[in-house]
Amino acid sequence: MKNEGLKNVRGSIDYGGKDAKIRSFISKTLQETFEKYGYSPLETSILCYYDLLALKYEEDNDILKEIYKVSDQGNRNLALRYDLTVPFAKYIASNKDIKLPFKRYEIGKVFRDGPIKKGRTREFIQCDVDTVGIEGQMIEAELISIFVEGYKKLGIDIVIKYNNRKLMNGIIEICDIESEKINQVITVIDKMEKLTKEELIEEFKKQELKDDQIDKMIKYLSMEFNSLNELFKDTTNINLKEGLNEICELNKYIRELDLTEYVMFSATLARGQEYYTGTIFEVYVVDGSIKSSIGGGGRYDNMIGEFIGDGKKYPAVGVSFGLDVIFEILKDKTKNINSIDIYIIPMNNNITALKLANELRQKNIKVEVEMNNLKLKKALSSANETEIPLVIILGEDELKENKLIIKDMRNNFQITENIDNLINTIQELISIPKIEYKILNPGGNKTALVKSTKFNDKQKCLINRLIMEKYLEVEQVGFLSNETNRLEMAGGEFCMNATRCAIYEYSKENEDSIEISVSGTNNSLKGRVLNDNKVEIKIDISKNIDELIEVQNDFILVKIDGILIVIFDEEKSKEYIRKLKDNEELAKKELKEFMNKNIQTTEKAIGIMLLENVLDKIKINPVVWVKDIDTVFYETACGSGSLATAIYNYYNCKEEMLEVIQPSGYTVNIELDTKKQLIENAIITGIVEEV
């Protein structure tokens, strides 16, 4: 075979790799959209009889020049379909038992031997939705909604131009243009926006139009719809009257469905096909990067009835998305479209890798296994290049403990997970998008703030785990709303230090005092940033001291919204401080068992404050159990524990001011506003630093 035989036929393109994935994404996105609106799939033949395709056109029509003519061994006069509408009409005509209304979509190749430019080839894919058996503008409004939703899902900003062929025919008729010239005049009108006024007049003159006819045409076609409607409200021209009424009805749907911003009436929109009988559409990109339309369609009420020839009316309307031109828009602005959820790196554990892959696939998780024994660094690089979101590494040491490593490549996190929990963890990780977060220091133990509260509880707990396993110095993860001043904690508890960090972050855009709501509390809190990065929070307490304090045998309970604080006496504090220094994990386990056994509460977190005296100041040694994420922290900053200690100190000594030393050495100042036994509010002040 000569080298030129390996070339593509002019106007046809092969697609592979990233390009093929983008095209598949477009097709799947539109299919899901069509099915969402109740349309069913249909496949029609690419090969048609030429006479069928040419049935609606005059011999000199441009569309006939673009039809690919072929023949078979019987020398039959055949052709490749140039759109999906005529084959659809043929299908309805040849299947008379179809129950109407009938709604179908078809995504398939069509062929036109026309000019080639960006977004326009000779072999291309159309994505059509059509209905038969529905009159009126309600269905047209639905098709506009499909256009809007489909392109929105594809990330393309559009404007839908619309018109009505009855309206256009009526305008031509009141300009006293002979009926035999209408189709050719419409062909000229269809080019109107691309021509100068002089060029337009010249084209009309080629159709032997008179000067007064041309002047009227240009005048009427340049008017806005409301002006046309007012001018011809009393017209006796049937086409013009029906066209105006249909657009008025469609405009009502457009307004009520909040579609106004996506549409624009255009009196010059014609669409070249002669079979259109009513509303017509064309879709364009807002930024004008592609001049040609990227979708279109309209109503064609006569085509099917003429095919069948039974004298009945078959109202039909449909629209088409141009996959190829959509692809041209997306290919440059889309980095990659990945179709794989998980990439497994076996590390010589090949059988385990394949068994694991099959188990994941049974849960509809898309998996690829590395099979070339690549070194870990190269395998990870390969996954990163193709933007695979998650990687599983089957390390020998981890497998011995029935565990494996999961790397979240999007967010640069890594966790070691028990194989028994793998499916649930993977499913949650897949559901979590790119995470935006920053880390602040509210006094020694750091806080991570994630920019979104729109995660479910399981996702929040998993994000909490991912961040805290990556940053060992982080002891609380908060979620900040982008819409209101709102902080949520992964375990649903209240955290004073995370609240100070949230106020610090929100105050960047507001120098005054701000109000913030926090999970685990009933009331909103007020706060502001002072000099030297100090953040002040004012908390409304409004409770008597006996409502806040409960005395037990060897400890005192302090009840604060969102967290219950246990304060041990001096001897018990010394005992546990020593135990924590000797064996922290064993001591934390013992204290968790104590809390679980002795403290009955619905609060999301329980804290134990082990107090010691340092240079005549109180230092806290907090042990906090967050129940929802089942994690015990030691030497956490614990702003709530500092407040509880201040309330405890007021209970003992009636002192309204207290400076509390936290485990990091940072101090928190607390001022209580009291009236005898009533604590009205508390002001907590402490430093917050950028990390």
Maximum Cα–Cα distance across the chain:
110
CA triple 584-586-592, angle to 5 deg: 100
Tens digits of per-residue pLDDT, 557-606? 998 876 789 998 888 899 999 999 999 999 999 999 999 888 888 888 89
Q: Which helix (H) or strand (E) holds 438?
A: strand 437-441
Tens digits of per-residue pLDDT, 208-260? 788 888 888 889 988 999 999 999 989 999 999 999 999 999 999 999 999 99
SS3 assignment, position 383: helix
Q: Which helix (H) or strand (E) holds 406?
A: strand 403-408
Confirm if 593 and 552 have CB atoms less than 8 A apart. Answer: no
User: What is the model's pLDDT at position 211?
Assistant: 85
Predicted TM-score (pTM) of the model is: 0.68
- CA separation, residue 60 to residues 182, 269, 608 (Å): 14, 21, 90
SS3 assignment, position 681: strand
- CA separation, residue 585 to residues 86, 517, 576, 580, 590 (Å): 75, 34, 12, 8, 9
Confidence of residue 394 (pLDDT cuts 50, 70, 90): very high
Confidence of residue 119 (pLDDT cuts 50, 70, 90): low
Tens digits of per-residue pLDDT, 203-216? 888 887 888 888 88
Confirm if 545 and 556 have CB atoms less than 8 A apart. Answer: no
Least confident of 140-149, 156-165, 443-452, 626-635: 626-635
Residue 2 has pLDDT above 60, yes or no: no
Residue 60 has pLDDT above 70, yes or no: no
- What distance in Å separates the CA atoms of residue 514 and residue 510, rounded to the nearest whole number? 7
User: What is the model's pLDDT at position 520?
Assistant: 82
The contacts of residue 465 (CB under 8 Å, 6+ apart) are 415, 629
User: What is the model's pLDDT at position 210?
Assistant: 84
Residue 19 has pLDDT above 60, yes or no: yes
Bond into 87 cis (ω within 30) = no
User: What is the model's pLDDT at position 1?
Assistant: 47
How many CB atoms within 10 Å of residue 75? 7
Q: If we measure between CA atoms, which residue out of 564, 577, 670, 572 comes closest to residue 617?
A: 670
Q: What is the mean pLDDT of residues 12-19?
A: 86
Q: What is the mean pLDDT of residues 600-619?
A: 87
Residue 58 has pLDDT above 80, yes or no: no
User: What is the model's pLDDT at position 552?
Assistant: 84
Residue 37 has pLDDT above 90, yes or no: yes
- What distance in Å separates the CA atoms of residue 83 and residue 321, rounded to the nearest whole number? 12
Confidence of residue 197 (pLDDT cuts 50, 70, 90): confident
Sole residue written with tokens 């499916």:
423
- Beta strand pairing call for 102-111 and 40-41: parallel
Tens digits of per-residue pLDDT, 472-530? 889 889 999 988 899 999 888 888 889 999 999 998 866 678 899 998 888 888 999 98
